Amino acid sequence: MKKIVVWIVFISFLALISASREARSIDVAPLPNFENNPFENLYSPWVDSVFNSLTPDQRIGQLFFAAAYSNLGKGHVDGIIDLVTKQHIGGLIFFQGGPVRQALLTNRYQRLAQTPLLIALDAEWGLGMRLDSTFSFPRQMTLGAIQDMSLIRQMGREIGRQCNLLGVHLSFSPVADLNNNPLNPVIGTRSFGEDPQIVAKQCVAYMSGLQDQRILTTAKHFPGHGNTSVDSHYALPIVNDSYEELDALEWYPYKEMLKNNLTGVMAGHLHVPKLDPTPNLAASLSKRVLTDILRDSLQFNGLIYTDALNMRGVTDHFRSGELEVRALEAGVDVLPLEYLSALAIHLRPLRANWR
């Protein structure tokens, strides 16, 4: 657990440094790929000092990201302040609202936080995916027709620049799922396409653009949400593909991004019986999937996030407390929740079960 929290605290520190830089205009010439992951092999005594100052309850709080909105009233803001100052959560995921309101709230929450918050946003097609008065780029399926990867990278850099202006450190993008099931109700245009090689090239370009701006990236939804006909927000999808099929198709984009220093992976709430036959167990809670395959076989060393823990793909089968412990034991680093009211419900039993 110490390793997980140190990782989160350290990334928060690095992201805050990067966010404080002056905004830069985009250089049209393509930048070279990083030879090394810009978030690795860096050391700050500050990280150890902060970690050593935290109580066990505070360290548990650091594992959670809560949903934040800039278009809700005082009650919501007070609830976030309570989570930041009393529960010591590790980060916020901003949803609906506007850019100026979000920036002002981010500054307010950061001033109140004992440990700097990691600020996240679903910016799959830019800030406009969540915020009014901001720009939306084309969906990934439209971008999949582009053959010049430097254009995708420039888009990623611009999205990253805008994230920096708002104090956002982490984008839950790109979507690495293949669009290989026409009945899929939730991925569709969010995917670059059905060809794993094309999807891989597009994902690497988009990811590299974001990371050029020191934005943390998150490929999703491992081990692959494309070949499903069920939305995991409402039920647990079942993927019947074999290890060999997944390795050749669904995981190809992940393997290419790993070669280019991918910083994060989001685990989907999907049941894959041929990877882990445990009944009703989502991949997001499976040690076989997240540790044995993602960590050990694919050699991923970045942060692992679950999809939101209040989605019915997991809540229909596991109670609060057990759910979070299973995720952590499976190898998850960060536990996001989409609803503010749900966080306290999940934090209390986790603190009772995880010691």
Catalytic residue positions, numbered? 233, 307
**Sheet order of strands, 303-306 included:** 219-222, 264-267, 303-306
Return the half-sphere exposure (C-beta side, CA atoms, 13 A cut-off) of residue 222. Answer: 32
The torsion angles phi and psi of 336, rounded to 5 degrees, stand at -90, 150
What is the helix, strand, coil percentage profile of the chain, to 5? 45, 10, 45
Can you list the pairs that 42-48 forms with residues at least 24 positions away whose Cβ atoms lie under 8 Å? 42/10, 42/14, 44/10, 44/13, 46/13, 47/6, 47/9, 47/10, 47/13, 48/6
What is the rounded CA–CA span in Å between residue 116 and residue 132?
26
CB atoms within 10 A of CB 328: 20
* Other Cβ atoms within 10 Å of 351 Cβ, number: 16
Q: Pseudo-torsion of CA 36, 164, 134, 306, nearest 10°?
A: 60
d(Cα 236, Cα 107) in Å, to the nearest integer? 37
Angle between the N-to-C axes of helices 196-212 and 252-259, in degrees from 0 to 180, rounded to the nearest 10: 30
C-alpha 227/C-alpha 141 separation (Å) is 16
In the numeric block, which tokens belong to residue 21? 């830089």
CA distances from 291 to 111, 149, 242, 258, 353 (A): 36, 32, 18, 15, 21
Could you give phi then psi for residue 249, rounded to 5 degrees? -110, -75
3-class SS at 194? Answer: coil
